[in-house]
Structure 1
Amino acid sequence: MKLANEKQAAVLAVTDGLGFNRDRSREIVNDAWERLSTNERELIESASERIGHDISWAKNLLYPVHVESLEPNTPTREAITKINDLQTCRTFLSEQLIERIESLIEAVADEKRYVPWAAGSRELSNLRNTNLSIPTSASGIWVGFENLNPPVQGNSETGHQQIGNLEMAPQLPLRISNAIKSGDFFNNTALNSSIKGAKDRSATVNFCFLLSGISGADGRVHSSWNHLEAFLELVFDHHKLSTDHVQMQAILDGRDSAINSSILEENGSGNFLGHLEKLLGKYKAKSSLAWVVGRSTAMDRDYREVAAKADFDLLTGSPAYAVYGFNQLRSKISDVHSEGKVDQDVPPIAITRSDGSIPMISRGDVFINLNFRSDRQRSKIAVLASAIDFLKSEGEHRGKYWDTDWLNHGLNLDICTIAEYHPIFEDKYGISVAFPTAPHKQNFFAQWPELVGDDEYTLVAESVKASHMGYFLRGRRENPAERAQEIRLITPSHSENDGVESDTDFYIHPEMRTREITNDVIQAIKTNTSRLICCNIAAPDMVGHLLPDRYEQAKSAYRAAGNALVQIANASHASGRALVITSDHGNIEDDTSSHSTNDVLTTIVRPNNAISAVGIPMFQARLFDVAPTVLELLGESPNNSIDQSKEFVGRSIVARG
C-alpha cells in the first residue's frame, strides 16, 4: 500500500568504510597552496579578506568539502559561521579559478594517495556542501569499546549497531575485558564446563583466535589480545591442562592490522607470531600451536563452501602445507608474502608435532572459538556442528548451493563460543555460549511499531553485508520485531563464478554491487510503500581493505559510491523524501588495509532544499545520533523514557520543527 501523502518519509544510506583524515587533508591543502601561482593565491586571499578573514584563513577555500576544514568538537555556532563564510567566499572566485583549485587538489591528493579527494567525486562534495554535513565520531568509546589510547578502530559490526540504536550500544569485547579485570572470566560457566569436560575424558581442547589486537589501533576492533592471555591462564594455570591436550588455530589478520603484521613489525605494532611465541613460551606450550591460516579462509562471512572446506580440512588433518616449529612457519608465511599475497591470504598450514604427526581434531574433542565477531564465525561453527540445513539455507540466500556430503563427519564436538553467533546453534546443536549476547533494548527498528506504527521499512544490501542490513542494524536481532513490516532486498555479491574466491578478490569488481543496490533503492522510492529505506554501499570498505596495493580500484569504489549517493539524493528529492548519508567507520581514507579511528561525515538532505538547523551545541555527532535524527525527519516523537541529556544517549542532529 502506498504511503499517505501527509506522511514524511526518508532514506538512510550507509557508505561502508568511508571516513576523512584531517591530518592528511591538511597536508594536501598546504602542498596545493604552495603550487598555486602568486596571482591565484592573491585572488583567494582577497576573497577571504572581503568578509574579514586573514590570509591564513584563505587556505580553507581549497577543501573540497567545507566541513572537513573544521577542527574536532568545534562549537556549532562557530562551525556554521565558518561554513557559511566559505560558501560566500567561493562565490567571489571565478569559475576558472575554482576549476584550477579542484583539479590541483585532486592531482596532489592522487600523488599522496588520498582516495576521497583523488577520486574526483565533485558531485558528492557539492551535495555535502549544499546540505548540512557534520563530523561524526565512529570509533573508540563512542562505538562501545574500551577507552584506550590509541582508540579502538571502528568497524561495520558496531557501526551498524550504533546507527540503528537510540543510545550507545555497548560492545561485547568491553564486557569480556571487564570480566577479565573483575575475575569473573575465570569463573565463566560455559568455558569451565567445556575445559573440565575435556580434561575428565582426556580429550583435547582446540581453540581458535584472530592473531591481532594488542593495542587499540592494530586490529582490536575484531580481536582483543587480553582475551587470549586470559584464556591461556584459564587453561594452563587454573585447569592445569597439559600442553599436548591443547591445540590452537591462529588466524592471521592483515585486514584490520597491517597487511603482513603476523611476522613484520612497523611503528611498534605487529610481529604477532613473535608475541604469540613468547606468550605460549610462558606456559612451555609452544607446541600447542597446531594450525595457522588467513582470515579469508577461516573467517568467511559470505558462505563460500570452498573456504569452509579448506578450513575444515586443516583442522581435521589435511592441510595445504605442513611445517616444523615457529621458524619454518615464519619462512613459509614470508614465501606467501613474496608472492604478492598478504596475511589474510595465507593458506592452511599445520605445524607438525615432534613425533612427525599432523595435528587434528578428534571425535569428542572440545572446540572453543574466541572470536567475538559473530557474522564471521557462523559458517565455521556450522561446519564443525554439522549444521547442514543452516548452511544450505544461508548459502541459498546468497546464491550459493552447497554440496554437503562432506559435512557428515560425526566428530560430535563439545563446542563453546565466546559470543553468540546464531540462536540456532544453541537451540538445535547444543553449542554453549560463554558470553550470551542480548539484543539492544533501545534499538530503533525493535521499537519501530511503537515509534512509527504499522508503516513498512526496507533494508537493501549485497550479501557480503547482509548481516549489517539485518542482524546488526536491528540491534543484534536475527528477525524483525514483532509487528514490524520489513522488506529486505539482498543481492548476491560477486563470487567464484566472477573470479572472486575471497574478500581479497573484490578489486576485480571494485564497484561491487553498488549499481544494483542503487537501482533497488530508487525502485523502492518510486514504489513508495516504505516509510524508511535503508541501504549499505559496501565497495569503499571491501576494496579499501585491499589498500595500499589496490589504490586505483579503491578510487573506482569511491567514485561508484559517490555516484550512487548523488543518484539516490536526486530520487529522494523528486519524491519529497529526506535523505541521511552516513558511514559506519573510516577505512578508505588512510591508504592502509585496516579500519581507522577517523571521523566520518553525516549529511542530511531535506526534500525542500532547506538547510537543517542544528540541534546540538557542539558540531560533532555520534553514530547513535543517526536514528534519533531519522526519527525526527519522519516527523515522529522520540521515546520519552530516554534521557537525551545523558552523554551516551542519542539526540537528533537537526533541531525539532
Structure 2
Amino acid sequence: MGPPPDRGGRGRPRPIVLVVIDGFGIGRDPAADAIAAARMPIWRGLLERWPSGVLRASEEAVGLPTGQMGNSEVGHLNLGAGRPVLQDLPRIDAAIADGSFATRPALLRACERARETGRLHVVSLVGPGGVHANDRHLVAMVELAAVKAVPAVRIHALLDGRDTPPRSALEHLRQLEPRLASAHPDARIATVGGRYFAMDRDQRWDRVERGYDAIVHGAGERAVTASAAVEAAYTRGENDEFVRPTVIEGVDGIVRDRDPVVHGNFRADRARQLTHALADRVFVAFDRDGPGGRPAPRDLLVVTMTAYQAGLPVAVAFPPEEARSLAQTFSEAGWRQFHVAETEKYAHVTYFFNGGREAAWPAEDRRLVPSPAVATYDLQPEMSASGVTDALVEAIASDHYDFIVANYANPDMVGHTGVWDATIRAVETVDACLDRVLAAVEALEARDAAGPGALLAITADHGNADRMRDESGAPVTAHSLNEVPIVLHGRTVAGRGMRDGVLADVAPTLLELAGLPRWEGMTGLSLLEGERPADGPPARERAGGGRVLRSAAEPPGGSPA
C-alpha cells in the first residue's frame, strides 16, 4: 500500500511520531536524579545530534496555580490542546472564591438529599498534593453542608503518600480535623485508608472492594481516631499510600439507602472504579453486600466533583469544557492516527490528549497494552514498555499512519515508588525502547531516501524520576516542578534552531511541520526558530529563560535529563 495523498502540504514528514516519556524531567541535583544516573546512550545521542529544547510543565505554564507540580493529565491535555488549559484545581478554587461553588446544582442536590437522610458522605483524597484533590474543596463542601442545614457530614479520607511524602498523613490529618470542626458542628472523619485501595485504576477490584467495604459497610481495621489509625499503620510498616482501610470507632459513617455521597476528587482516572461501585445499578466486579451479609445500600445519590466517565449514573458538579486538539485537527485533515500506551497511561494518550473527548476521532486507531499485575512497579520496572514498543514499531513500519502518539509510563510509575535502583532500570528500559523506535523510523526513511522522511518528537509531560530524593536524602515519591526536555529527529528539522517554551508549544510545532494551519484559540507557538509572540514578552521570558535558539550544531552543555 502506497502513502496517502499529502494532506498537509507538499514535503511534509510522514508519519509524525510523538513519544511522551512520563515523569521524565530535567534534574537539578545529580545525587537525586535517577535519569542522570541511568545509562541512556540512545537518548543522549539524540540530544547531541538533533535540535532540542526545554519546556515548562508545571504551574501557570500549564494552567495550574503557582507552586503546583504538573501531572500526566494536565501534561497530555496541554500537549494536545496547544494552549495552557485552565485545570480543574484552579477552576474549582475560582468557584469557591467567587461564591459560585455554593450554587452548583449537583452539590445543592446532595445537600437537599442529606437533609432528608440525615447525613452527607464525602470521599476525598486528603493532604496538600493537589494532583487528585485539594483540602480546600473538601472544606468548602463541608461549609456548604452547614449553610444548607445538613445534620451530619461523614468524611472518608483517602491517604496519599505518593504525591506527598510517604509518611506525612499524620500531620495532614491533625491540620485538617480542626478545619472540618470549624466548618460544621458534626463533620467527622469516619474512615481512613491508603489510595492503593479505593483509588485503584487498573481493574484490581479486590483492592477497591476493601476500600468500599470500609466506607459503605464499616468493615475493616478499627481505630479510635483517624490519627490512631495512621499510627497503627506505621507500626505495621505501612506508608500512607498502603494504610489498610480503617473504620473510626464511635463515628457512625455507614452508608445507608438513599444517602448522598460526594466524591471530592477532581481527577478522574483514580476515582472511576470506586464511583462505579457506588453508583452502578448493575455491578459485577465484586459482591457489594457487606462481609457480614449486610445488603448494599440502594438508591444512592452519587455526585462527582468533575466528570469521571461518560455514562456514569452520577451528578457532576463541574462538567467538562472540551478543548480542541491535535487529534481533531489531524482527523479533519483526513489523517490516519494511532494512539498507544499501557493501561496506566492509556487515558492520557486518548481522552486527555484528545482534549477531554472519550470517543476516537474518525481514522483514529487505539491500542491498549495491559500493565503488569504487580503490587508496586518497582517489582517490575520494565512494566509493559516492550509491548508498547512492539505496537509502536508495527505502526511505524506499516506506513499506514500519518500521526502516531505513544506513552512510556516507566519513569513516572516506578518513580512513584521512591525506589532508586528500580527507577534507574525503568529509565534504562525506555532508552532501549527508543533504540527500537529510532531504528523503525530510520528504516522507513531509507525506503524513501529522496523524500522528507518521518519526524520523531520525544518529550515528557512532567518531572518525577529526576527528583528521587530530598535535601536530606529521604525518598521523594511525588512529581517535580522541573522542566522537561524535547528533541526532534528527522530530515525536515536537521540543523534547525529551537527555543525553549511550554508544553502547549508542542502542538503548533507539529502543525507547522505538518503544513496545517493553527486553530482559533491556540496560544502556543512553534518551537522552531523564527516564530515569536505577536503580543506579550519574547519567548525567552515566557519560557522562564534558558537556551532560546539551539540547533544540532549548538548542542547543550550536558544532558537536560
Q: 1:283 to 1:489 in 2, by over 3 A?
A: closer
Q: Which residue of 2 aligns with 1:206?
A: 121
Indicate yes or no: 2:277 matched with 1:378.
no
Q: 2:145 aligns with which of 235, 249, 252?
A: 235
Write the distance in 2 (CA, Å) between the matches of 1:656 and 1:638: 16
Q: Which residue of 2 aligns with 1:16?
A: 22
Write the distance in 1 (CA, Å) between the matches of 2:85 and 2:32: 34
Larger helix proportion, structure 1 or 2? Answer: 1
Contact 1:203 1:366 (8 Å CA) reproduced: no
Structure 1 residues 83-114: Cα deviation after superposition (integer angstroms, max 9, x where no partner): xxxxxxxxxxxxxxxxxxxxxxxxxxxxx242
Indicate yes or no: 2:141 matched with 1:258.
no
Q: 1:232 to 1:287 in 2, by over 3 A?
A: closer
Partner AA of 2:19 in structure 1: A
Cα distance, 1:655 vs. partner?
4.3
Contact 1:606 1:612 (8 Å CA) reproduced: no
Counting only pairs closer than 5 Å after superposition, residues 99-110 of structure 1 correspond to structure 2 as none
Contact 2:169 2:240 (8 Å CA) reproduced: yes
Give SS of 1:628's match.
helix
Structure 1 residues 565-594: Cα deviation after superposition (integer angstroms, max 9, x where no partner): 232123213323100001010001111100
Q: 1:485 to 1:654 in 2, by over 3 A?
A: same
Contact 1:369 1:416 (8 Å CA) reproduced: yes
Cα distance, 1:119 vs. partner?
0.8
Partner AA of 1:599 in structure 2: E
Partner AA of 1:230 in structure 2: A
Cα distance, 1:302 vs. partner?
1.3
Counting only pairs closer than 5 Å after superposition, residues 249-328 of structure 1 correspond to structure 2 as 249-263=156-170, 271-283=171-183, 285=185, 288-328=188-228
Write the distance in 1 (CA, Å) between the matches of 2:144 and 2:405: 43
What are structure 1's unaligned runs of at least 5 residues?
Answer: 26-111, 214-218, 264-270, 393-401
Partner AA of 2:26 in structure 1: F
Partner AA of 1:552 in structure 2: D
Structure 1 residues 25-53: Cα deviation after superposition (integer angstroms, max 9, x where no partner): 4xxxxxxxxxxxxxxxxxxxxxxxxxxxx
Indicate yes or no: 2:73 matched with 1:157.
yes
Q: 1:508 aligns with which of 379, 382, 386?
A: 379
Q: Which residue of 2 aligns with 1:248?
A: 155
Indicate yes or no: 2:553 matched with 1:553.
no
Indicate yes or no: 2:298 matched with 1:411.
yes
Structure 1 residues 206-252: Cα deviation after superposition (integer angstroms, max 9, x where no partner): 11111122xxxxx123222221221121112x12333xx31110110
Write the distance in 2 (CA, Å) between the matches of 1:326 and 1:379: 24
Q: 1:579 aligns with which of 456, 462, 466?
A: 456
Q: Which residue of 2 aligns with 1:448?
A: 330
Write the distance in 1 (CA, Å) between the matches of 2:306 and 2:2: 41
Partner AA of 1:594 in structure 2: A
TM-score by length of structure 1 reads 0.74
Write the distance in 1 (CA, Å) between the matches of 2:224 and 2:161: 23
Q: Which residue of 2 aligns with 1:631?
A: 511
Contact 1:114 1:590 (8 Å CA) reproduced: yes
Write the distance in 2 (CA, Å) between the matches of 1:487 and 1:562: 25
Quote the RMSD (CA, aligned, Å).
2.1
Write the distance in 2 (CA, Å) between the matches of 1:256 and 1:14: 20
Q: 2:58 aligns with which of 139, 153, 160?
A: 139
Give SS of 1:384's match.
helix
Q: 1:627 to 1:350 in 2, by over 3 A?
A: same
What are structure 2's unaligned runs of at least 5 residues?
Answer: 7-11, 445-452, 469-475, 532-561
Cα distance, 1:4 vs. partner?
3.4
Structure 1 residues 266-308: Cα deviation after superposition (integer angstroms, max 9, x where no partner): xxxxx11111122123247576210101111111111211112
Write the distance in 1 (CA, Å) between the matches of 2:125 and 2:434: 34
Q: Which residue of 1 aligns with 2:448?
A: none
Write the distance in 2 (CA, Å) between the matches of 1:553 and 1:470: 28
Counting only pairs closer than 5 Å after superposition, residues 471-510 of structure 1 correspond to structure 2 as 471-481=351-361, 484-495=362-373, 500-501=374-375, 505-510=376-381
Contact 2:145 2:184 (8 Å CA) reproduced: no
Partner AA of 2:72 in structure 1: S
Give SS of 2:203's match.
coil
Structure 1 residues 173-218: Cα deviation after superposition (integer angstroms, max 9, x where no partner): 111111111111112221012112220x2332111111122xxxxx
Partner AA of 2:150 in structure 1: L
Give SS of 1:129's match.
helix
Contact 2:209 2:286 (8 Å CA) reproduced: no
Give SS of 1:588's match.
coil
Q: 1:2 to 1:295 in 2, by over 3 A?
A: farther
Cα distance, 1:606 vs. partner?
1.5
Contact 1:2 1:527 (8 Å CA) reproduced: no
Write the distance in 2 (CA, Å) between the matches of 1:349 and 1:161: 36
Q: Which residue of 2 aligns with 1:365?
A: 259
Q: 1:375 to 1:2 in 2, by over 3 A?
A: farther
Contact 2:142 2:184 (8 Å CA) reproduced: no
Q: Which residue of 2 aligns with 1:167?
A: 83
Counting only pairs closer than 5 Å after superposition, residues 13-52 of structure 1 correspond to structure 2 as 13-22=19-28, 24-25=29-30
Give SS of 2:311's match.
helix
Cα distance, 1:636 vs. partner?
2.5
Partner AA of 1:249 in structure 2: H
Indicate yes or no: 2:256 matched with 1:346.
no
Write the distance in 1 (CA, Å) between the matches of 2:46 and 2:496: 14
Contact 2:143 2:184 (8 Å CA) reproduced: no
Q: Which residue of 2 aligns with 1:432?
A: 315
Percent identity, please.
Answer: 29
Structure 1 residues 325-378: Cα deviation after superposition (integer angstroms, max 9, x where no partner): 244224213224xx2x32111110000116xxx631111100001100011111
Write the distance in 2 (CA, Å) between the matches of 1:568 and 1:363: 54
Greater CA radius of gyration, 1 or 2?
1
Q: 1:281 to 1:318 in 2, by over 3 A?
A: closer
Cα distance, 1:403 vs. partner?
5.2
Partner AA of 1:445 in structure 2: A
Contact 1:11 1:580 (8 Å CA) reproduced: yes
Q: Which residue of 2 aligns with 1:186?
A: 102
Q: Which residue of 2 aligns with 1:84?
A: none
Q: 1:5 to 1:420 in 2, by over 3 A?
A: closer
Residue correspondences, number: 506
Structure 1 residues 394-442: Cα deviation after superposition (integer angstroms, max 9, x where no partner): xxxxxxxx456759935210111110111201xxx2x1111111211x3
Q: 1:250 to 1:424 in 2, by over 3 A?
A: same
Write the distance in 2 (CA, Å) between the matches of 1:330 and 1:512: 30
Write the distance in 1 (CA, Å) between the matches of 2:308 and 2:2: 37
Partner AA of 1:577 in structure 2: A
Q: Which residue of 2 aligns with 1:420?
A: 307
Give SS of 2:364's match.
strand
Write the distance in 1 (CA, Å) between the matches of 2:281 and 2:429: 38
Q: 1:610 to 1:297 in 2, by over 3 A?
A: same
Write the distance in 2 (CA, Å) between the matches of 1:195 and 1:370: 14
Contact 2:262 2:302 (8 Å CA) reproduced: yes
TM-score by length of structure 2 reads 0.86
Q: 1:361 to 1:606 in 2, by over 3 A?
A: same
Q: 1:16 to 1:323 in 2, by over 3 A?
A: same
Write the distance in 2 (CA, Å) between the matches of 1:538 and 1:155: 12
